Amino acid sequence: MTAGVRSVTAAVLALAACARPSYLGARLPQPCTARDVEACLGWMVERDLADAELDLYDDTALRAYVQGIADRLASGAGLPRAPRVVIADHDGTYATSGSRIVIGRPTIERLDSEAELAGVIAHELAHIEGHHAVVSLFGPPSGDDALVLRRDAEAVADERAVALLERAGYAPAAMARALGAVLDAEDDEHPLRADRIARARVMAGGRPGFEGRAELLGHLEHMVVGRDSRLGRRVGDAWVVAALGLAVALGPGDVVRETNDVLVLRRGQATLAAYAIGAPWARELAAALEDRTADTRGLGRITVGNVAAPSERDATPIGKLARAIRATLPQPAPGTHVAILERARGALVIELGGRGVAELGLREATPDELAAAEPARIVIERAWQTGALRDALICEGRLLDSPDRRVAAGDPIKCADRAIAARELAPRLMADAALRRD
């Protein structure tokens, strides 16, 4: 969470007092009606991921496994209650308001043992335990002091994470390896990457503990790897959104660019954009369009209209809350002429760029297109000899473990079920390359 939490706090209280409390189409849970502001905000963050951004990685067994690791660490930390862990489909890991840890599926993909995954979670747990979000929100407002404070919080969290790993019985040395795997580039808010890794290694001091490589890999089998292409992938002459069962037919003159699951299409003089969002959020956006027309034949309910400027008139706490939260969700800019096509599992927002919906070439995706848009997944294979993976002739072109890893015969090895374009794995491969330099 960023600034504005204090006004949001007042707004949550007002929301709880409403006659029919709901958020993104769901009834507010007990913490919201009981005025537990922190827990209520945590619930909202999760609901945004799931029902507005289609960005929750939906795998109950994997979430339960990761939650079990958080529970084990939390009891070692003496926390009364473990934070709730959710797995997102975007890279990165962070602690949010309301004792939530959001861990990215692409982050899990980079890790090599349960102890390393525990290290990533322990770091976030330390932020929650130390109320670091509160420090950065309510400490010095901005400038160099805030940055120093933030860097200090990171160093404290790394140090505490090593201790939490050890208390929970994990190998403390896994923290340094986890940092090596997940930290990419340098930034102002964190101590230098190499310093953090070196410090974590010194603090661990080579003491033993549970590593759990086979345990982690066992739970990663069938996990999506690389970009989750179900939110949009080019298949032949179509752009296919498998999550919605839709295809956009592409013409020979179309110029196509895909970034972050958004299709940007230049067709003649017009520039169109299309992206998938959650159904409850789509219904709210559609209901707020100006000059709108709706039609429910064919592919689903299509609402066409212009995006209204957000009303600043409602200065009540609940009005402010609605604006603050809405601003963080995926949506077209005010004034944009859009079509919103609602499907069973979500909706497609199309920024029409002056074109009509009929010109877009929208249709049901074919079974072959849906199959082609399926993302790559992790498979676990077994080494058949002792040595470095680069010499093992296993998973050639599909290897997700470091080629330098030494394995014994029968050891599990992380592979993809098919070759993956390098750009889809770029951050992980960069991290691997950097780790080999250390």
Residue 110: CB minimum distance to Zn ion, A: 16
CB of 218 to Zn ion, least distance (A): 28
- 370's CB contacts (< 8 A; 6+ apart) are 240, 242, 245
The residue among 41, 85, 97, 24 whose CA lies nearest residue 32 is: 41
Q: How far is the CB of 26 from Zn ion (least distance, A)?
A: 30
Strand partners, 349: 275, 340
C-beta of 187: minimal distance to Zn ion in Å? Answer: 11
What is the per-residue binding string for Zn ion in 102-141, x denoting contact by CB under 5 A?
----------------------------------------
- C-beta separation of 273 from 351 below 8 A: yes
402 CA to centre of own chain: 24
Q: How far is the CB of 88 from Zn ion (least distance, A)?
A: 16
Specify the stretch interacting with Zn ion by CB under 5 A; choose among 150-158, 253-261, 310-318, 409-417: 150-158
Q: Which is nearer to Zn ion, 40 or 183 (CB)?
A: 183
Pick 138 or 384: Cβ nearer Zn ion: 138
Which CB, 90 or 234, lies closer to Zn ion?
Answer: 90
Instruction: Kindly give, in sequence order, each residue whose CB lies less than 8 Å from that of residue 346, ignoring residues fewer than 6 positions away.
Output: 54, 243, 244, 276, 277, 278, 279, 282
Residue 148, number of CB atoms within 10 A of its CB: 11
Choose the stretch contacting Zn ion; rule: CB under 5 A; options: 49-57, 106-114, 153-161, 235-243. Answer: 153-161
Cβ(261)–Cβ(232) under 8 Å?
yes
Contact 302, 295 (CB under 8 A): yes
- What is the rounded CA–CA span in Å between residue 417 and residue 204? 35
Q: For Zn ion, which is the closer residue by CB, 199 or 233?
A: 199
Shortest Å distance, C-beta 95 to Zn ion: 8
Query: Among residues 154 and 184, whose Cβ is nearest to Zn ion?
Result: 154
Shortest Å, Cβ 83 to Zn ion: 14
Nearer to Zn ion, 159 or 254 (CB): 159
Instruction: Please give the Cα distance from 213 to 112 (Å, whole number).
Output: 6
On the CB side of 289, CA atoms within 13 Å amount to: 24
Among residues 129 and 211, whose Cβ is nearest to Zn ion? 129
**Binding positions for Zn ion, 244-283, rule CB under 5 A:** none
- Paired strand residues for 258: 263
Question: Pick from 212, 222, 349: which is nearest to 279 by CA?
Answer: 349
Tell me how many residues contact Zn ion (CB under 5 A): 2
Quote the least distance from Cβ 123 to Zn ion, whole Å: 6
- Determine contact, residues 328/2, Cβ cutoff 8 Å: no
- Interface with Zn ion by CB under 5 A: which range of 85-93, 146-154, 289-297, 386-394? 146-154
Query: The dihedral of CA 410, 411, 412, 415: what is its sign?
Result: negative
Helix (H) or strand (E) holding 180: helix 174-182
The residue type at 128:
I
Is 244 in contact with 343 (CB distance < 8 Å)?
A: yes
> Per CB under 5 A, which region of 70-78, 149-157, 222-230, 248-256 contacts Zn ion?
149-157
Contact region with Zn ion (CB under 5 A), list: 76-84, 154-162, 244-252, 352-360 = 154-162
Q: How far is the CB of 352 from Zn ion (least distance, A)?
A: 41
Interatomic CA distance for residues 182 and 108, integer angstroms: 9
With respect to Zn ion, which residue has the nearer C-beta, 121 or 389? 121
Toward Zn ion, which CB reaches closer, 154 or 159? Answer: 154
For residue 333, count other CB atoms closer than 10 A to its CB.
9
Give which of 396, 103, 58 is closest to 228, Cα–Cα: 58
- In the complex, minimum distance from the CB of residue 77 to Zn ion, in angstroms, rounded to a whole number: 16
Footprint of Zn ion on 155-184 (CB under 5 A) = 157
Name the residue nearer to Zn ion (CB basis): 94 or 210.
Answer: 94
Residues contributing to the site for Zn ion (CB under 5 A): 154, 157
